[in-house]
Amino acid sequence: EVQLEQSGAEVKKPGESLKISCKASGYSFTTHWIGWVRQVPGKGLEWLGFIYPADSDTRYRPSFQGQVTMSVDKSITTAYLRWNSLKASDTAIYYCARVSGSWFSLPFDHWGQGTLVTVSS
């Protein structure tokens, strides 16, 4: 069974750094792109970008380039999303999601449960 297990909710102050995780299991981690999607509670879904675990090829939405960093650790089949300096506007639920095949131009067929990130002074 494909599962994406995300790390728990975080409360941070503006300017702090943060790294959240997405542990994948039940499939070959290196053959599917992993994407990240942001959702402000009660609002819509924003596509942030994705990463190919086999070689860490990464594609960011231009508006998020330089704002977040995606990475993976193949040895523990885990994807990460990192911020160096959080802003209040980063407050949202962040989902990781698996692309349904080895080519990135495909839909997300499995999703993590989401990680709520709250940034407040």
Instruction: Catalog residues that contact other proteins under the rule CB under 8 A.
Output: 35, 37, 44-47, 49-50, 59, 61-62, 95, 97, 100, 104-109, 111-114
Other beta carbons within 10 Å of 114? 16
Rg from Cα positions in the chain? 14
Which C-beta is closer to other proteins: that of 13 or that of 106?
106
Which C-beta is closer to other proteins: that of 80 or that of 94?
94
Considering the complex, what minimum distance in angstroms separates the CB of residue 57 from other proteins?
A: 12
Q: Which residues contact residue 75 at a Cβ distance below 8 angstroms, ignoring those fewer than 6 apart?
A: none
Considering the complex, what minimum distance in angstroms separates the CB of residue 4 from other proteins?
A: 9
62: region left, alpha or beta (phi > 0 left; psi from -120 to 50 alpha): alpha
Considering the complex, what minimum distance in angstroms separates the CB of residue 86 from other proteins?
A: 22
Which C-beta is closer to other proteins: that of 72 or that of 99?
99
- Round to whole Å and give the CA distance between 115 and 28: 23
